[in-house]
Amino acid sequence: MSASTPQDTATANVEFNQLGKPLTRTDAAGKVFGTTPFAGDYAMPQMLHLQVVRSTVASAKLLKLNTEKARALDGVVEILTADDLPNPSATPHFHEAYGEKRPMTDPPLLVSDRIRFFGEPLAVIAAETSEIAAQACALVEAEYEPVQGVYDPQEALQPGAPIVHGEDNIMVERKIRKGDVAAGFEDADLIVENTYRTPFQEHAFLEPEVGLAWVDETGVINIRTCAQDIEHFRMIADVLDLPHNRVRIRGAFVGGGFGGKEECAREIYMALMALKTGRPVRLEYSREDSFVGHGKRHPMILRYKTGVTKDGKISALDVDILADSGAYLYLSANVLLYAAVAAPGPYKVDNLKVCARAVATNNMYTSAFRGYGAMQACAAYEQQMDEVAKAVGKDPIAFRQQNYLKTGDPIATGFVPPGAIWTDQCVDRAWAALGPRVEPVEPHIKTGRGVAAYQQSYGKVSFLGDTSEAWVGVEFDGSVVVRSGVADIGGGQVSSLAQIAAEVLGVGLDDVTIYKTDSALTPLAGRTAATRTLSMTGNATKKASEAIRSRLLGRAAIEFGVKPSEVLLSKGRVLVGNAPEKSMRLGDLARLCHIDGIQASELAMHCATHADLLDSETGQGQAHPDYTYGAHAIEVSVDTETGEVRILKSIGAHDVGQCINRAAVEDQIEGGAQNGQGYALSEEMLYNEGKLMTPSLSEYLMPTSMDMTEVESIILESRSGVGPFGAKGIGEPAISAVAPAIANAITDAIGVRIFELPLTPERIVNALMDQES
Amino acid sequence: MSCAYDLKVPISLQNALDLLSDAQSMPLAGGTNLLVEIRSGKERPQRLVALDRIEGLAGIDINSETITIGARATVGDLLRSTELAKAAPSLVKAAGVFAGQMVRNAGTIGGNIACASPAADLVPPLMSLDAQVTLQSSSGSRVVALDEYYQGYKQDVRRPDELVTQISMPRLPDQTHNRFYKLARRRGDAITVVGLAVTLTVSDGVCRKARIAMGAVAPCVIRARNAEALLEGNVFDAAMIETAAAQAAAECAPIDDVRASAQYRRHCVRKLTRRLVAEAWNDLEAKVEADV
C-alpha cells in the first residue's frame, strides 16, 4: 500500500478498446423490442396453474385447514398442505450466517400449527386454470385460534411481551468494540445523541415472481424461474430428498431483483407440485401476492451517540441498532452484520461501540434489500454527521473532511480495505455540481441542500467463502462464446461479462454471445446479490479470457517468429505492429490452435479471499473483500404550507474503480437515486397488526418520472477495486446516500430535522408547526 | 379476483340505454376504475355495456354561452383542447395532473363523475364552474346540477338505468379567475389528498361570485358554501381571505386514511384555499391594472 497507493496509479495511462465507454448493452434491443422472453413467457402443454393460500391473520394457531370444498371444485387437481410435505421440517431458509438460533426460527414451507405473520403460506393449489386456482383459494377454510401478537420491535423486547419463537424475541445480536469508548466520551467537548427511524421498503420489481416447473424424460426436475440465485437447486433437492443433480434451474432475464428474489419457497412449491401431479406447473404472483410473498427491507431504530471535540474530531461513537426482523430470521443475521460494520460510515472512529440486534415480531419478515442494512445505517450516520456539525458550529462538509477515512485506514472492524477511499473527492464533486442555489420566488417555498457520503461493501461476506466460474471460447470465425450461470437481474450483468471477454480478446461486443443462467449447463457463478457479480464473475471471465489470450499469443508468436508480447489482438485480428504480412484473422488463429491441440477455450474460477469469522465480542476482522465509497448531493424545495417536497437536483458521485460500461453505471446511479428517493419521501408499508394496509402500487408510492429530476452521475475511477480492471461495485452503493442527502437538504430548507423516514408532507407540516409553537 | 361477465358493445346510444335498463348491466367507458373494482371483487356485474362504439358521445363544444363536453371524452381529449384550456382552465389543469398517461388515455369525464369518488380530480373544477350533468335513460333524460349530484360516499342521484351523457357549464364571465390545485403524495399517478378548485368573479373591486369546491376531504366532493358566502359581495383583503380559508377548513369533513390524516387535510384546505383565493385576487387585480 505504501509506495503505490491506488491514488498514485489511478491516473495511469490505461487505454482500453471499449471498457469504460457507454455502450449499448447486449440485452437492450431484445428488451426494447419486447422479444426477450422472461420467465413468465414460458408455457407448456398440459400446464397446471398454482396459487398459494395465505393466512388472513398475523398471529394464531392453525386449528384446522379444511380443503374439501376447494378439492371438490371442478378443475382443481391437487392441493398441498403441510401434511403432504415429504419432510415436515423442510424450510425455504438457507443457512449461511453464524449466530442464528436454528432451527427454531426457520420458517416452515407451509404452516402446520402456528401462524406468525399475515400472509404466511398455508397451502398450494394446482388447477387447470389460474381462475379456478383463485376460486379454490377462496374455498379453503382455515380455523384459527388467535394468539396475542407483537408488532413493534421495542415492545417485543419488553418483559411479558408475546414471544414469537422460543425463549425471547432477540433473533440476532452483532457487536463491534474498538478502542476505549468511555475514554473517548471523556475526551469529547460535546456529546450529541439522536435516534433515527427507517421504514420497511418493498422491492416492487417490474416483474412479480413467476416460474414454470416440469419433470423431464430423465426424471430431472426443471424449473424456469426469475431468480437472483439459480443455485437454490441444492436446497430444493434437499427438501425433495433428491440428489442435487436431479434438480435443474434454468433462468431467464430477470425483471428486477434488489434482494427480493433470493428466496426459494415458490420454486419448492413448483417442484413439489410438478412431482406430485406429473404435469408442468406454473406459479405466477400477482402484485398483491408479491407484496406479501417476499421479505422486506428491515425497519430500524438507530440511536447514535457521538462524542466530538471542539475542533471537530469525533472522539467516540456509541451506536445501538434495533431492527424488526418480522416473524422469521431469513437473512437478518447478515443484514445486521452489514448494519454494524457500516455504523460509523466512512469516518475514522477510534473509539467505537456498536450493538445491532434484530428482534422478532409478527410483522412481515424482513430480509435482503439493496444496501442490506448498511443503507439504513447510512441514513442515520449521515444525518447525525450534519447534526454533530451543527452542534460544534462547523460546516457539514468541513466537519466530514476532518473525519474521513483515508486510503489505507482501517474501518470499524480493523480491516484495511485493499481499494482506495475517495470519499473526499466524491463529496466535493457532488456538492460542486449542485451549482448556484435555486432561489425560491413564492413566499411559501423554501429551498435547501444536503450531502451524504457512504461506505458500502461489494462482494459477499468474507467468512462465507465465494467462488464464481465462467467459460470462454473463441470460434473459428473469431466470434467468442461466454458461458456463465450468472443471473442477469437487469443491471447489465451479462453484457458486462461479454464486454470483459471482448476487451481481453480484442473483439467487438457484438462478436460475443453469452449462454447464461442454467444450473446444469453453464458454470456456476453464484447469486446475483451483494454487489458481487461484476467483481466475482467478471474476474472469472477475465481470467478465462486471459488464459486463452496467452495461449493464442504464444501460437501467433511462433507463426510470425516474434515474441508473444509483440502480438496484439485488435478488432478481430491478430497483429504484429504494422507489418501486413504478420497479421491474420483471430478465427484463423483459433483454427491453427485447434490443429495443434492448443485449447482456445477456458473454464476459470475466481475465488474471493476467505476470512475467519469476525470476533463475536469485538466484531474485529475482515467482513467483506472491499468497499465502495461515494456521495450523493441533493437540492430540494419544500412547500412550507403543505409539506410537499420537490427534488430539484440529484447528483451521485461514486468511485466505481473502473467503469466497464459507463451507460450501465449511470443506469445504476439513476436507479439508486430513484429507489432512495422513494425510501426518503413517499414509500410506506403501513401495517396494522401485521396486515399490510398499502398492498398495491396505488398506495405504495414509488417516485414516478414526474417526481424525478434528471439525475447527474459523476463517475470517478480509482482503478483500485478487487473486481476486473480495478472495478468496484455500484449496484448497492448507488442507493446508500440518497435518503440522508434528501433528509439533510430538507432540514437545511426548513430548519428542523425529522428523525423518521419517510419524510412525508404531513410529517414536514407537523414538524414546522412544532417549531412554531 | 376475476369474474365472468357478459360484454355488450352497442353502436347506438338508444341501444346502450335499452341494455342499461336491465338491472344487471353496468356501463363501461374507459374502465380505469370499473375494471380495477372488478378485479378486486368490489364490483361483480353480470353484464357490461361498453360505450366506446357509440358515435357523438365524446365531443367538446364551446360556444359563446356554454361549454358542452360529451361524457365519453377522455381526460386526454380535455388536455388536447386548446379552447377548453382558455374557457375552463381549472378543468384542464386537473386533467393534466390526473393519474398517469395510460389512465388519461382511457379514463373519461363521464366515468370520473359517475364513479362518485370523493377524490375524482375532474369534479372539483367542474363543480366550481357550475357544471350540470345530463342523465339519460331509455325513458327520458334529466339535467342535474353537479353540486346536487352526490349524496354521500360513492353515492349519487344516478339510477342504474341512467347514463351520464353530457356535462355542460356556462362560459365564465370576464374578470373571472379559475384555478385548481391537486395535493397528492407524489406528482405522477397519485390519488388526491386534497383537490381544491376556486372560481372568482370580480367587478369594480367587489367579489361578485365565488365558488370553492373541495375534493378528497369529505364523503363526496363538496362546495365550501359558507366560505363562498363570506367572499361574495365583499372587497378582498388579507384578513377576509384568511377568514374564508378558515371557514372552508371548517366546512370539510375529512377522514384519516393511508395517504393522510384528517387533521393534515383540514390544514391543507385552509392553506390552499387562502393561497388560491389570494392568487386569484392578485391575478385579477393585476389584470385590472393592465387594462387601465
Quick one: how far is CA A344 from the chain centroid? 21
- pLDDT of residue A10 exceeding 80: no
Beta-strand relationship, B155-156 and B150-152: antiparallel
How close does chain B come to A51, measured CA to CA in Å? 12
% of chain A at pLDDT higher than 70? 97
Residues of A in contact with B107 (CB under 8 A): none
Q: CB pairs below 8 Å between A and B: how many?
A: 58
Give strand pairing partners of A316. A307
Helix count (H) and strand count (E) of chain B? Answer: 11, 14
pLDDT tier at A9 (50, 70, 90 boundaries)?
very low
For A201-220, what is each residue's pLDDT tens digit? 999 999 999 999 999 999 99
What DSSP string describes A79-111?
A: EEEGGG-SSTT--SPPP--SS--TTTTPPPSS-
Cell triple for residue A498? 461479454
B188:A761 CB<8 A = no
Confirm if B183 and A642 have CB atoms less than 8 A apart: yes
B268:A642 CB<8 A = yes
pLDDT tier at A436 (50, 70, 90 boundaries)?
very high
- Ramachandran sector of residue B99 (left: φ over 0; alpha: ψ -120 to 50; beta: rest): left
Residues of A in contact with B2 (CB under 8 A): 131, 134
CA distance A321 to A306: 14
pLDDT tier at B286 (50, 70, 90 boundaries)?
confident
Instruction: Give the residue from A318, A334, A341, A337 showing the smallest Cα distance to A412.
Output: A341
Residues of A in contact with B39 (CB under 8 A): none
Q: Which residues contact A163 (CB under 8 A, 6 or more apart)?
A: A169
- pLDDT of residue A737 exceeding 90: yes
- pLDDT of residue A3 exceeding 70: no
How close does chain B come to A704, measured CA to CA in Å? 6
- pLDDT of residue B52 exceeding 60: yes
What DSSP string describes A392-405?
A: TT--HHHHHHHHB-
Instruction: Give the residue from A47, A55, A106 showing the smallest Cα distance to A238.
Output: A106
Cell triple for residue B114? 359517475
Residues of A in contact with B191 (CB under 8 A): 698
Give strand pairing partners of B61. B68
B186:A706 CB<8 A = yes
Confirm if A462 and A668 have CB atoms less than 8 A apart: no
Quick one: how far is CA A94 from the chain centroid? 17
CA within 13 Å, CB half, A641? 16
pLDDT score of A16: 87
Residues of B in contact with A704 (CB under 8 A): 100, 186-189
Nearest to A131 among B2, B264, B267 (CB): B2
Beta-strand relationship, A645-655 and A626-639: antiparallel
How close does chain B come to A679, measured CA to CA in Å? 13
Burial bucket for residue A310 (CB in 10 Å: 0-12, 13-18, 19+): exposed
For A592-604, what is each residue's pLDDT tens digit? 999 999 999 999 9
How close does chain A come to B261, measured CA to CA in Å? 8
The count of residues in chain B is: 292
CA within 13 Å, CB half, A310? 1
- pLDDT of residue A8 exceeding 60: no
A701:B258 CB<8 A = no
A762:B271 CB<8 A = no
Taking CA atoms, A526 is separated from A488, A515, A542, B62, in Å, by 12, 15, 16, 65
For A223-263, what is each residue's pLDDT tens digit? 999 999 999 999 999 999 999 999 999 999 999 999 999 99
- pLDDT of residue A2 exceeding 80: no
Give strand pairing partners of A510. none
Cell triple for residue A137? 383459494
Q: Which residues contact A619 (CB under 8 A, 6 or more apart)?
A: A174, A175, A176, A177, A340, A341, A354, A412, A413
B260:A641 CB<8 A = no
Strand A512-516's sheet: what is its strand order?
Answer: A512-516, A480-484, A467-474, A601-607
Taking CA atoms, B277 is separated from A43, B84, B95, B281, B288, in Å, by 59, 22, 21, 6, 16
Confirm if A545 and A569 have CB atoms less than 8 A apart: no
Ranges assigned E (strand) in B185-232:
192-203, 206-215, 222-223
Query: What single-letter amino acid sits at A463?
Result: F
- pLDDT of residue A317 exceeding 90: yes
Nearest to B258 among A444, A686, A761 (CB): A686
For chain B, the residues whose C-beta falls within 8 A of a C-beta of chain A are 1-2, 100, 183, 185-191, 193, 258-261, 264, 267-268, 271-272, 275
- pLDDT of residue A4 exceeding 50: no
pLDDT score of B4: 81
- A353-381: string of b/e by CB count within 10 Å (b at 16+)? bbbbbbbbbbbbbbbbbbbbbbbbbbbbb
- Mean pLDDT value across residues A666-671: 98
Confirm if B210 and B231 have CB atoms less than 8 A apart: yes
Ranges assigned E (strand) in A459-598:
467-474, 480-484, 512-516, 567-570, 573-576, 583-585
pLDDT score of A714: 98
- Mean pLDDT value across residues A579-584: 91
For chain A, the residues whose C-beta falls within 8 A of a C-beta of chain B are 131, 134, 286, 444, 641-644, 681-682, 684, 686, 693-694, 698-699, 701, 703-707, 760-762, 765-766
What DSSP string describes A248-303?
A: EEE--B-S--TTTT---HHHHHHHHHHHHHSS-EEEE--HHHHHHHS-BPPPEEEE
CA distance B21 to B27: 11
For A608-660, what is each residue's pLDDT tens digit? 999 999 999 999 999 999 999 999 999 999 999 999 999 999 999 999 999 99
A693:B258 CB<8 A = yes
Is the peptide bond between A758 and the residue preceding it cis, with omega within 30 degrees of 0?
yes
How close does chain B come to A662, measured CA to CA in Å? 29
Confirm if B110 and B83 have CB atoms less than 8 A apart: no
Residues of B in contact with A204 (CB under 8 A): none
How close does chain A come to B260, measured CA to CA in Å? 7
Confirm if A604 and A540 have CB atoms less than 8 A apart: yes
The count of residues in chain A is: 773
Burial bucket for residue A747 (CB in 10 Å: 0-12, 13-18, 19+): buried
pLDDT score of B3: 63
Domain annotation for chain A: domains and CATH numbers:
39-147+221-284 (3.90.1170.50), 300-461+613-772 (3.30.365.10), 467-607 (3.30.365.10)
φ, ψ for residue A582, nearest 5 deg = -100, 65
Domain annotation for chain B: domains and CATH numbers:
6-50 (3.30.43.10), 61-170 (3.30.465.10), 176-291 (3.30.390.50)
B267:A694 CB<8 A = no
A644:B2 CB<8 A = no
A762:B261 CB<8 A = yes
SS3 A660: coil
Instruction: Give the residue from A189, A176, A192, A187 showing the smallest Cα distance to A306.
Output: A192
For A126-135, what is each residue's pLDDT tens digit? 999 999 999 9
Confirm if A282 and A47 have CB atoms less than 8 A apart: yes
pLDDT score of A724: 97
pLDDT score of A224: 98
Q: Give me chain A's average pLDDT, please.
A: 95
Cell triple for residue B130? 357550475
Confirm if A244 and A237 have CB atoms less than 8 A apart: yes
φ, ψ for residue A744, nearest 5 deg = -65, -35
pLDDT score of A90: 82
SS3 B73: coil
pLDDT score of B287: 72
- Mean pLDDT value across residues A694-721: 96
Q: Helices A423-433 and A396-403, interaxial angle, to 10°?
A: 170
pLDDT score of A91: 85
Residues of A in contact with B260 (CB under 8 A): 761-762
SS3 A185: helix
Residue of A nearest to B266 (CA): A642
A704:B189 CB<8 A = yes
A707:B268 CB<8 A = no
- Mean pLDDT value across residues A263-277: 96
SS3 A110: coil
CA within 13 Å, CB half, A760? 22
Instruction: Give the residue from A221, A209, A217 showing the smallest Cα distance to A246.
Output: A221
Q: Cell 387601465 belongs to which residue?
A: B292
Q: Best interface-test mutation with B: which of A638, A677, A698 has the largest number of B CBs within 10 A?
A: A698
pLDDT tier at A14 (50, 70, 90 boundaries)?
low
Q: Best interface-test mutation with A: which of B38, B182, B264 has the largest number of A CBs within 10 A?
A: B264
Residues of A in contact with B186 (CB under 8 A): 681-682, 701, 703-704, 706-707
Q: Which residue has the higher pLDDT, A105 or A524?
A: A524
Least confident of A5-9, B216-220, B228-232: A5-9
Q: Give me chain B's average pLDDT, please.
A: 95
A704:B186 CB<8 A = yes
| Torsion sign (Cα): A494, A496, A501, A505 | positive
- pLDDT of residue A6 exceeding 60: no
pLDDT score of A220: 98
For A92-106, what is each residue's pLDDT tens digit? 877 666 655 555 678
Residue of B nearest to A288 (CA): B40
Q: Best interface-test mutation with A: which of B1, B32, B270 has the largest number of A CBs within 10 A?
A: B1
- pLDDT of residue A11 exceeding 60: no
Q: Which residue has the higher pLDDT, A2 or A293?
A: A293
How close does chain B come to A675, measured CA to CA in Å? 14
Instruction: Tell me how many degrees the CA angle A752-A756-A757 measures, rounded to the nearest 5.
Output: 110
Residues of B in contact with A765 (CB under 8 A): 264, 267-268
**For residue B202, what is the enclosing H or E element?**
strand B192-203
